[in-house]
Structure 1
């Protein structure tokens, strides 16, 4: 059975663990009506539409 000969340093241990927590960019798309950037599956903040339907009043 494999047993480590030396203790793993905290820097090496933390660097290995940090590889699993990479930040991914937000999934931004364009609104089909007003062409403004919108997060996916959210109501457009500028025109108030979602899936082609008017959901909120536009400002």
Structure 2
């Protein structure tokens, strides 16, 4: 198991952690109601997936 020989400075630690960023989720429009939804998932607005009703909308 690798063990660091020296303590990493605060500036090096913070600059390394600054690279961790999140990205916005990819959204597509629903073919039925044209509201944004996640791809390969049922639409939360109308409840359809691939042209058929799979869930009851909230």
Q: TM-score range by the shorter chain?
A: 0.5 to 0.7
Unpaired runs of 5+ residues, structure 1, are 1-6
Secondary structure, aligned partner of 2:25: coil
Post-superposition, which runs of at least 4 consecutive aligned residues in structure 1 deviate over 4 A? Answer: none
Aligned pair count reads 52
Per-residue CA shift, 1:5-45, capped at 9, x if unaligned?
xx7521222212331x2110011110011000112222111
1:15 equivalent in structure 2: 15
TM-score computed with the length of structure 2 as normaliser: 0.68
Unpaired runs of 5+ residues, structure 2, are 1-6
TM-score computed with the length of structure 1 as normaliser: 0.67
Structure with bigger gyration radius: 1
